[in-house]
Amino acid sequence: MEGNVPVFGSKLRNNIVIVPEVISQCSGIRVFGQSIKSFLFSTDVAIIRNTNANAIIAVYPFTPQPVISNALILAADKPIFCGVGGGITTGVRSLELAIHAEFQGALGVVLNKPTPNSLITKLKEKIDIPVTVTVVSGKEDIQGRIKAGVDIFNVSGAGNTVDIIKKIRDIDNNVAIIATGGKTNETILEAIEAGANAISYTPPSTGELFKGIMEKYRLEE
């Protein structure tokens, strides 16, 4: 029955990180039959277990380690795209990290900006899950990335995100794009209208979430 969506909740799990509703307006990216519109950018297991986002982008500013990706994949109740380096960590090590992530159950891997196109090509030969490359500037070699075989662009250009999305769309109207949408509905909608298929959302930190809860407890005293 169209328009009738049954909703089931929990008294114990009603305080979760909700991604902005406007994200539902994007087309989504279908990966192995799963339609993904919202990605949560986090490596916090507690937050990963308590969000309505469709998937997780688990990228962190340290050398990728299999024990970390394994822990996140085991803890998550939704698909995870794991960071496998591309900058300081690159070459054979990134290949091995990506293979390990796939074997552990990751739905995709994410490479950071310095990744050489040759590594993308090698990854496409070795793994059977989507290869995502982060784009932070409109000056990057988008055409070269596409030729190398990239599956998804992860656009994280701060105030230039919309312009980067448009540049990618001018080159290839079909390649998949995840984009940071910012904190407001307006900026998220701008990214979607520019051509983003999915949006990555950065949640509040655990400390920020705790602050609100503690303030509520204090008022109850």
- Can you spell out the DSSP letters for 10-63? -SSS-S-BPPPGGGGGS--EEETTEEE-EEEE---HHHHTSB--SEEEE--SS-
Count of domains observed in the chain: 1
Give how far the C-alpha of residue 26 lies from the chain's centroid of Cα atoms, to the nearest Å: 14
Q: 4 Cβ partners below 8 Å, 6+ apart?
A: none
Tokens representing 150?
């990239």
> How many CA atoms are closer than 13 Å to the CA of 181, on its beta-carbon side?
35
The residue-averaged pLDDT of 168-177 equals 96
Residue 100 lies in a domain: yes
The residue-averaged pLDDT of 197-205 equals 93
199 has pLDDT over 90? yes
Residue 12 lies in a domain: no
Cα(161)–Cα(194) distance, integer angstroms? 9
Mean pLDDT value across the chain = 91
Residue 153 lies in a domain: yes
CATH code of the domain containing 184: 3.20.20.60
What is the model's pTM? Answer: 0.90
The pLDDT score that the predictor gives to residue 2 is: 58
Cβ atoms of residues 146 and 170 within 8 Å: no
Nearest CA to 109 out of 119, 139, 74, 205 is that of: 119
Tokens representing 176?
């998949």
pLDDT band at 63; cut points 50, 70, 90: confident
Question: Which has the higher per-residue pLDDT, 196 or 12?
Answer: 196
Q: 198 Cβ partners below 8 Å, 6+ apart?
A: 23, 26, 28, 29, 36, 37, 38, 39, 176, 177, 178, 179
Question: Which has the higher per-residue pLDDT, 13 or 84?
Answer: 84
- Per the DSSP assignment, residues forming a β-bridge with 199 are 38, 179
29 has pLDDT over 80? yes
Residue 10 lies in a domain: no
- How far CA 78 is from CA of 18, 71, 81, 153, 154, in Å, comes to 15, 13, 10, 21, 19
Residue 132 lies in a domain: yes
Question: Which has the higher per-residue pLDDT, 215 or 29?
Answer: 29
Residue 172 lies in a domain: yes
The pLDDT score that the predictor gives to residue 61 is: 87
Nearest CA to 183 out of 201, 197, 209 is that of: 201
Which domain, by its residues, includes 75?
A: 21-220
- Per the DSSP assignment, residues forming a β-bridge with 101 are none
Q: Over the stretch 96-141, which tens digit does the pLDDT of each residue have?
A: 999 999 999 999 999 998 899 999 999 999 999 999 999 999 899 9
Residue 5 lies in a domain: no
Residue 206 lies in a domain: yes
pLDDT band at 10; cut points 50, 70, 90: confident
- How many H helices and E strands in the chain? 8, 10
